[in-house]
Amino acid sequence: MSSTPVIGVLALQGDVREHLAALDTAGAAARAVRRPEELDAVDGLVLPGGESTTISKLAVLFGLLEPLRARVRSGLPVYGTCAGMIMLADKILDPRSGQETVGGIDMIVRRNAFGRQNESFEAAVEVRDVPGGPVEGVFIRAPWVESVGAAAEVLAEHEGHIVAVRQGTALATSFHPELTGDHRLHALFAGMVRQAGR
């Protein structure tokens, strides 16, 4: 892999454009991913925020869910924000009917844990492995992590709830760093992708 990793953004629903811009700023070659052959061409993948049930159903419809699971199991670096965090959970506490996940992080996630759309908020979040002080977290109908298994590492908490987790080549935040102009989490992920490609 060159020093510029190719990082895809799952472009089925959600804030795809903002992640593509953030990845560009973080030194990656960013690509939208909608089809299995586009997934095959990336070194890492972002699962964006949006509506986790919709993303799950669209992933099935586009023939992406099984290829995604297989690539994540085989070590594809992946970063999920908000709904993307839910998609990376091995277990959802309160799944909607028919909702499936990609899995990859040994954690149990509670959907919409921080409240409804009108209860969205921003908060400074101290994230381990991200130098330079707290990141500004945008929480929109955000999940939180109820518990993690032994393999998962907690990177951040807010008001006593886990909001950022890492396990091997998988990273997840319950907030949206792509909406703030602070791209340090995308830079952390780009570094993880480079590391995995060595």
Tens digit of each residue's pLDDT (9 = 90 or more) over 13-38: 988 999 999 999 999 999 999 999 99
Taking the C-alpha atoms of residue 107 and residue 136, their distance in angstroms, rounded to an integer, is 23
Indicate yes or no: pTM above 0.85. Answer: yes
CB-CB contact of 112 with 96 (8 Å)? no
The per-residue pLDDT for 119 is: 86
- Chain segment 37-84, per-residue pLDDT in tens: 999 999 999 999 988 889 999 999 999 999 999 999 999 999 999 999
CB-CB contact of 56 with 87 (8 Å)? yes
Average pLDDT of the chain to the nearest whole number: 94
pLDDT of 1 over the 60 cut = no
- Please state, for a pLDDT cut of 70, what percent of the chain lies above it: 99
The per-residue pLDDT for 116 is: 83
Q: Phi and psi for 169 in degrees, rounded to 5?
A: -95, 15
Q: In CATH, which of 3.40.50.20, 3.40.50.2300, 3.40.50.880, 3.40.50.720 is domain 6-197?
A: 3.40.50.880
Catalytic residues: 82, 176, 178
User: Could you tell me the CA-to-CA distances from 112 to 85, 117, 132, 173 in Å, in that order?
Assistant: 12, 9, 29, 13
